[in-house]
Amino acid sequence: MIPSQLKLDRSRFKLNRRSFLRGVGTAGLVLPFLESLPDRSAFAAEGTPRFGLFLCTSCGVVGNKFWPSAMGELTTAGMEADGKSTSVLAPYADRLLMVKGVNYPGSAAGCAHADGLAKCLTAANTSGSGANVTPSSISCDTAIADGLGVSPLTLYAGLKGGYIEEKLSFSAPGQVRAAEGNPYNVYLDLAGLLDNSTGSPTPMADYLFERRKSVNDLVRGDLGTLLNSRKISYSDKLRLDQHLQSIRDIENDMTNMPGLACSGGNLDMAAIEAMNGGGGFNRPYEENGRQEEVVKLQLELCALAFACNTTQVATLQAGDGTDGTQYTINGQLYERFHHISHRVNSDGTGGSAIANAEEKHFDIDKLRLQSLLHGIEKWSQYDTPSGPLLDSGFIYWTSHVSDGPSHSFRDLPIIVVGNAGGYFKQGAYVNAGGVSNAQLLNTLITANGVPTENFGTGGTGLIPEMLA
């Protein structure tokens, strides 16, 4: 029985078959859409939605240890033999498109980290100084959201209160869109359980989280009393035990059911809940790379949002502009990542040299790509009415500069995963020939369902080498 003070607003929540099935078994009880699924999650009868996630990391990559050895086809065996940081993604070689030869337009107006973030999804000229750099146009997620009539999902993984915070998604020239860094709040918002006026869970949230437990767990106390009662015959106890086992079997079947669209069964709910309280999502520096945990959870939540069609475009900024995360790799606590990317113990050019800095940066590149791999694996578990999520959408992965020591804006590291309805080449490493990322964004925006050839500055048209 729902407590009287927690009665559902029936105008907002309407029961349907899919949400009922999710409410029956463990797969559904993981997700508090269980009482009913908001109408917004239904796929439209007309059209085939396309989904795009734009993910920008920090401080560049070790280029000579990132790019495959040769242009052309990407294969699992070839990527594994290369031994590059991108070899981490070898199991999904046939789903990858790696694009070399893309540059940001112009030069840095202020801090290169801030400027690179501002240019990443705008391909725009920038103005300002230091960390206060802003672009002269909207970001591509805004253009896509406006074209499709949806609201973009804006995610973050990194320190809040640092030198450079959110600077990836822009709703208007110079107007950054706030990003949510707490996966717990993202989850509640997707489920309609976040009070957007206060940023806090609604009273219904606690009740529905309680409902996520197994049906058996919710009544375990009463069942234990009943099973131990002398008034219950042995045969009745056997029948009761068989009934409980049948519930367990149903739950297990639903948890393992392939292609269960719009199900929370693929979420790591324990990890999501652990992020709530005490700023658990906002302690990447002190917690030795906890930032990557947040990245993985945000990727999981984005997959769920797309599978439920609550939006069709999302951004994820991984790391504040001067990312000071400390990673522990092979039992060794590394220096701050921003310092490693500079190769010295400093946020600038001074300071003592860091021993084996390039190798440490290479190790961190592999670790960050393992987070992307986690996202690919999670996306691969979702189907949509128009096909597998990786066939209906794409993940765009890059960094806000190409190289740590030089802060170069040339030859940006670019990976596209998924084909957006057959739009992109797959299993290929191509060279775009030194074009502006305006042409790259034109191509991605078009793939996301909003055809355009003139977004940003520095170039028009698409990148033909990327097209299937």
Residue 235's pLDDT is: 75
- Per-residue pLDDT, averaged over 322-338, amounts to 92
Statement: residue 89 has pLDDT above 60: yes
Token output for 61? 């990559």
Which of the pair, 58 or 248, is modelled with greater confidence?
58
Q: Which pLDDT band, with edges at 50, 70 and 90, does 104 fall under?
A: very high
In a domain, 1, yes or no: no
Write out the two tokens for 78. 């070839």
Count the Cβ atoms, other than its own, within 10 Å of residue 467: 14
Is residue 230 scored above 60 in pLDDT? Answer: yes
pLDDT at position 205 is: 60
Task: State yes or no: pLDDT of 319 exceeds 80.
Answer: yes
Lateral strand order in the sheet of 415-417: 72-73, 428-436, 96-103, 415-417, 393-399, 51-57, 313-318, 153-157
- Count Cα neighbours of 97 within 13 Å in the Cβ-side half-sphere: 26
Rounded to 5 degrees, φ, ψ at 444 are: -70, -40
Query: Which of 214 and 197 is assigned the larger pLDDT?
Result: 197
The bridge status of strand 153-157 relative to strand 313-318 is parallel
Tokens coding 428: 């290929």
Query: What is the crossing angle of helices 234-255 and 220-228, to 10°?
Result: 150
DSSP class of 43: P
Asked, for residue 36, whether it belongs to a domain, the answer is no
CATH number at residue 428: 3.40.720.10
Q: For 67, list phi and psi in degrees, rounded to 5.
A: -75, 145
pLDDT computed for residue 246 by the predictor: 58
DSSP state of 335: P
Residue carrying the six token digits 């699992």: 76
Cα angle for residues 91, 97, 102 (degrees, 5° grid): 140
Residues 224-238 have a mean pLDDT of: 73
Contacts of 437 (CB under 8 A, 6+ apart): 102, 103, 104, 105, 119, 120, 123, 412, 456, 458
Please compute the mean of the pLDDT values over residues 69-79 and round it to a whole number: 97
First-to-last CA distance in the chain? 54
Based on its alpha-carbon atoms, the radius of gyration of the chain, rounded to whole angstroms, reads: 24
Number of domains within the chain = 1
Q: Mean per-residue pLDDT for 217-235?
A: 66
Contact 22, 31 (CB under 8 A): yes
Residue 358: strand, helix, or coil? helix
Domain residues for the domain of 114 are 45-182+279-466
Closest CA to 32 of 267, 260, 254: 267
Most confident of 33-47, 263-277, 451-465: 451-465
pLDDT tens-place string over residues 337-368: 999 999 999 988 788 999 999 999 999 999 99
Q: What is the pLDDT of residue 282?
A: 61
39 vs 109 pLDDT, higher one: 109
What distances in angstroms separate CA 192 from CA 26, 34, 188, 361, one per listed residue?
20, 11, 6, 40
Catalogue the long-range contacts made by 437-440 (C-beta closer than 8 Å, 24 or more residues apart).
Answer: 437/102, 437/103, 437/104, 437/105, 437/119, 437/120, 437/123, 437/412, 438/105, 438/123, 439/102, 439/463, 440/99, 440/102, 440/123, 440/414, 440/466
Residue 179: predicted pLDDT: 94
Model confidence pLDDT, tens digit, residues 431-445: 999 999 999 999 999
Q: Please name the residue ranges forming H helices in 212-233.
A: 215-218, 220-228
In a domain, 4, yes or no: no
In a domain, 420, yes or no: yes
Specify the pLDDT at position 278.
56
Q: How many CB atoms lie within 10 A of CB 442?
A: 25
Residue 366 in any domain: the answer is yes
> Which residues 6+ apart lie within 8 Å of 308 measured at CB?
33, 37, 41, 190, 262
pTM of the model: 0.82
Q: Is 54 part of a structural domain of the chain?
A: yes
Q: What is the pLDDT of residues 247-296, one digit of tens each?
A: 555 445 444 433 345 666 688 888 888 887 655 566 554 455 588 999 99
Residue 381 covered by a domain: yes
Q: Would 146 be classed as within a structural domain?
A: yes
Q: 36, 41, 40: which is closest to 21 by C-alpha?
A: 36
Find tokens 């767990």 and name the residue: 217
Q: For residue 52, what is the DSSP state?
A: E
Closest Cα partner for 92 from 348, 384, 296, 390? 390
pLDDT given for residue 144 in this prediction: 98
- What pLDDT, on a 0 to 100 scale, did the predictor assign at position 224? 65
Dmax over CA atoms of the chain, in Å, equals 83
Q: Please report where in the chains the tokens 């996301």 appear, as a residue.
A: 448
Picking from 129, 136, 179, 186, the residue whose alpha carbon sits closest to that of residue 159 is 179
* pLDDT given at position 239: 72
Return mean pLDDT, the chain. Answer: 82
Question: Hey, which residues does 157 pair with through a beta bridge?
Answer: 318
Measured between alpha carbons, how far is 18 from 21 in angstroms, rounded to an integer?
5
Q: Are the C-beta atoms of 297 and 376 separated by less than 8 Å? A: no
CA dist 112 and 131 (Å) reads 9
* Residue range 368-408, pLDDT digits in tens: 999 999 999 999 998 887 778 999 999 999 999 999 999 99
**Ranges 67-71, 161-165, 248-252: which has the least confidence:** 248-252
